[in-house]
Amino acid sequence: MKARVMAVALVAALALVGCDDDDDEDYSATSENCQVIDYGEGEQYELCCTVNCYYHYDDDEYVEQCVEERTCSSSTGSACPHWVIEEYDYPPCIY
């Protein structure tokens, strides 16, 4: 009788462990594509497109959310002139 109770308890414990949802997982990824524009006399501008993605798997359901961020920075720390963006444009975003 004691062995049977232990066996039932063991099966119940294994069943509870098996109920853990291993298919429910989250992932994130980031990719960045940049180009450097050398304007001369030590002035450089870096145009970038950064993509931040969040992936969620839940049983048979898959959700992907991505956000693109475009930035322009100057080697001197000053603001990036608008004409740099107009003339060279941002590089393509990479997913």
| Strand residue runs (E) in the chain | 25-40, 43-58, 61-74
pLDDT at 39: 84
Q: Are 29 and 20 in contact (CB under 8 A)?
A: no
Mean pLDDT, consecutive 10-residue segments, the chain of 95 residues? 44 47 78 94 93 90 94 92 94 94
pLDDT at 64: 92
Q: Are 36 and 44 in contact (CB under 8 A)?
A: yes
Per the DSSP assignment, residues forming a β-bridge with 55 are 27, 64
Query: Which burial class, exposed, middle or buried, applies to 45 when counting CB atoms under 10 A from its CB (0-12, 13-18, 19+)?
Result: buried
pLDDT at 4: 46
pLDDT at 29: 96
